[in-house]
Amino acid sequence: MKISLCQLSFMQKIILVILFGFLVSLNACRQVEPDTTVIITEQILYSSSEKLRMLGRLITNQQIELIDHGFYISGDEIFHHQLLFLWGVK
């Protein structure tokens, strides 16, 4: 059974327009979050029995807010017993 738009009553057309507007508004309210790409690099510049000099970089395609910076250092790869060195607000 095919029903054309001309065969609908005025009230049915109003309901269809409201329903269509509601469905369109649901899709328009979705806010798409852009992907943030962050690359963290760490490099040991100098190490001796007394000193360790490291370089850390944070590269991203968007502005991000950083509060503190420092390093996690551990003797094993799983970081079970890690030491945290914080250098303060940058």
Q: What is the pLDDT of residue 2?
A: 60
Pairing of strands 38-47, 69-74: unpaired
pLDDT along the chain (90 residues), means of 10: 64 79 69 71 84 80 77 81 78
The two structure tokens encoding residue 62:
């968007």
Q: What is the pLDDT of residue 43?
A: 84
Q: What is the pLDDT of residue 7?
A: 66
Q: What is the pLDDT of residue 3?
A: 60
Q: How far is CA 6 from the centre of its chain?
A: 49
